[in-house]
Amino acid sequence: MAQLIADRRDVDFVLHEQLKVKRLARHDKYAEFDRKTIDLIVSEARNLAIKELLPTQKLGDEQGVSFHKGKVSVPESFHRAYKLFCEGEWVSMTEDPSWGGQGMPHSVSLAASEYFVGANCAFMIYPGLTHSAGRLVEAFGTKKQKELYLKKLYSGEWGGTMLLTEPQAGSDVGALSTSARKNPDGTYMITGNKIFISCGEHDLVENIIHPVLARIEGAPGGTQGISLFLVPKIWVNDDGSLGEFNDVVCTGVEQKMGIHGNATCSMALGGQGKCRGTLLGDENKGMRAMFHMMNEARLLVGLQGFAFATTSYMYALNYARERIQGKNLLQIKDPEAPSVPIIQHPDVRRQLLTMKVYVEGIRSLLYYIGFLSDKMATTDSAEQRATYQGIIDVLIPIAKGYVTDRCFDVCNMGLQVYGGYGYIKDYPMEQLLRDCRITMIYEGTNGIQAMDLLGRKLGLNNGKAVMDLLGAVQKTLSAAKAVLELKNQAETVEKAANKLTELALHLGGLAASEKIQEAFAFAYPFMEAAGDVILAWLLLWRATVASAALNEGRSKKDEAFYEGQMKNAEFFTQVILPVTLGKMDAISKTNGAAVEISEAAFGG
């Protein structure tokens, strides 16, 4: 079953040949993370994922969570898996060891997480949100808050959530109505209702710490008047002991299309007037705190989508090699010709190669973003850190929006490779497709990601962030042009990158004019085009590395792998990128039909 989560050879290729992460060990922060240690971490993650988490995936989907009188029980198999996950100290892989983390590079943690999330995403949301809550405490908490909560969260002994969404305030967070009233002792009484709260209540831990967005009485309206509070399910006394129940009640769980093993809860805060919280950060600065964590949260959702896609691809590839159906086209007229594995059929090969280029390109994208975070942590130059952060900021809406769109497509193709068998529950493909769909919605719908890219990220630092990213692209293009087999492909990618730059200027200009609605009507297609260009760059980068390896004759057994990287770049630039260029032509015309049509003309 190992090959049915992720391709270890490709994981190693990105870490060690494309990004060369072992070079991080030259710096004191990551001195212990040499090649041997990194490989050991990935191997241990892989073993835990395959042996303990993967068997719980189907069970969790079938059993789901149960709700009774405010209490939520997770699938029984999750308890052993959670215990082992916490014992392995996997909850906080990148965090400071003094707070219970492992202090490993972000790029390496992404490789480990790929196996974990691919094995059971619904399960991984529990420790994932716990880690995110801990990061908020570490970034904005007082000394007392850190002492009370941080080690408990980073160890997984306590759980964590994020209480943002309300019935009337989904993407429009500024419309929330949850209120906070200050008490004489400095705590706050919290009153309100939240919905769609992942892990809001469950029985994996004895206490759950809820970061809650609320408005202090008298604060300004909109997002500028929102504050962030720490609200424990069970009150935590000053000495760290647990006190009384804190009037945080789960009122129900959602019956969802997918991720059945994760509890998505409706929460009532202060229904009995006894819910207390402590301010996390400054008054009226809650949204700033949340945006501080937004990159990490959106990258995590991109990783979730990717994990579904890579798992779907590995299953589809394995199935196509084993499923015997039909004759080879070259022998179609021979009545004696045997039936062959479906991987020999051209249309199946087209689907598999399409899946392959997206999976492997996206792996490089996500790991690259993690690697930029690692480089930020290992430089003393404030200017260099700002450069890395700017590139990350530009890539995040693509890593969430574009990535989860394409990953859902990959899961859909994976099901198609299975044919009718893919549609039934005896096989894993229909669950992967169902589970993947949520990644296009939560942590900001993909339409919002497109608006973020166009409205905020293109002009970030007066356009410097985008130019720095294009500088990295140009470096790859120069290297690829020096390789005879890649010269034409490099020129195609360069043409697409130049066209994308022109399009960004065009849409940016419209967005700053009276034609702002027309501009944002094309934000989504622009994000798709930008994602294609970024993926083309990364696949070309991979191909230049593979070309060098082939020329050096590094390993006979790896020839097919490296040749596959060359074909990846060829297929993407010759088959997919021309469609992207056509899409950019359409975007450049910026037709106004979508905003000009009257509501009545939609019909209904």
Give the model confidence (pLDDT) of 429-440 as tens digits. 999 999 999 999
Annotated active-site positions, please? 443
Q: In angstroms, what CA-CA distances link 63 with 56, 75, 240, 248?
A: 10, 6, 35, 25
Tokens linked to 47: 């073993």
Does position 469 have pLDDT exceeding 50, yes or no?
Answer: yes
CB 110 within 8 A of CB 367: yes
Q: How far apart are CA 177 and CA 191, in angstroms?
A: 9
How many residues does this entry show for the chain?
604
Give me the mean pLDDT over the 367-384 stretch: 96
Which candidate, 440, 496, 376, 524, places its Cα nearest to that of 24?
A: 376
Distance CA 546, CA 561 (A): 8
- Which tokens go with 228? 């962030």
Give the confidence band of 144 by pLDDT, cuts at 50, 70, 90.
very high
Q: Tell me the mean pLDDT in the region 127-151.
A: 96
pTM equals: 0.96
Instruction: For residue 252, give both structure tokens.
Output: 């129900």
Q: If you average pLDDT over residues 562-568, what whole number do you get?
A: 97
Residue 397 above 90 pLDDT? yes
The CATH class, in words, for 2-154 is mainly alpha
Range of weakest confidence among 131-140, 371-380, 550-559: 550-559
The pLDDT tens digits of the residues spanning 48-88 come to 999 999 999 999 999 999 999 999 999 999 999 999 999 99
CB contact at 8 A, 524 and 447: yes
pLDDT at site 462: 93
C-alpha to C-alpha distances, 264 to 55, 192, 296, nearest whole angstrom: 22, 17, 20
Give ∠ CA 234-238-242 in degrees, rounded to 5: 30
For residue 253, the cross-strand partners are: 265
If DSSP codes are grouped into helix, strand and coil, which group holds residue 205? Answer: coil
Backbone φ and ψ of 437, nearest 5°: -60, -35
Q: For residue 401, what is the DSSP state?
A: I
Give the mean model confidence (pLDDT) for residues 505-531. 96
Q: Any idea where the domains of the chain sit in the sequence?
A: 2-154, 159-284, 457-592
> How many angstroms from the chain centroid is the CA of residue 307?
9
Radius of gyration of the chain (CA): 25
> Hey, what amino acid is at 528?
E
Q: Comparing C-alpha atoms, which of 91, 136, 155 is closest to residue 230?
A: 136
Span 81-98, average pLDDT? 96
| Distances in whole angstroms, Cα of residue 306 to Cα of each of 223, 437, 496 | 32, 12, 24
With contact defined as beta carbons under 8 Å apart, do 38 and 108 qualify? yes
Q: What percent of the chain has pLDDT over 90?
A: 93
- Confidence check: pLDDT of 217 > 50: yes
Helix 286-322, helix 346-377: angle, nearest 10: 150
Q: Classify residue 457 as exposed, middle or buried by CB count within 10 Å of its CB (0-12, 13-18, 19+).
A: buried
Q: Are 42 and 8 in contact (CB under 8 A)?
A: yes
Residue 3: predicted pLDDT: 54
Place 1 in a pLDDT band, splitting at 50, 70 and 90. Answer: very low
Q: Quick check: 2 pLDDT over 70?
A: no
Phi, psi values for residue 42, rounded to 5°: -65, -40
The CA–CA distances, whole Å, from 7 to 219, 451, 517 equal 52, 34, 43
- The confidence band for 258, taking pLDDT boundaries of 50, 70 and 90, is very high
Q: What is the pLDDT of residues 273-297, one digit of tens each?
A: 999 999 999 999 998 888 878 888 9
Pair 102, 94: CB distance under 8 Å: yes
What kind and span of H or E run contains 392?
Answer: helix 382-397
Which CATH architecture fits 159-284? Beta Barrel (2.40)
pLDDT at 553: 78
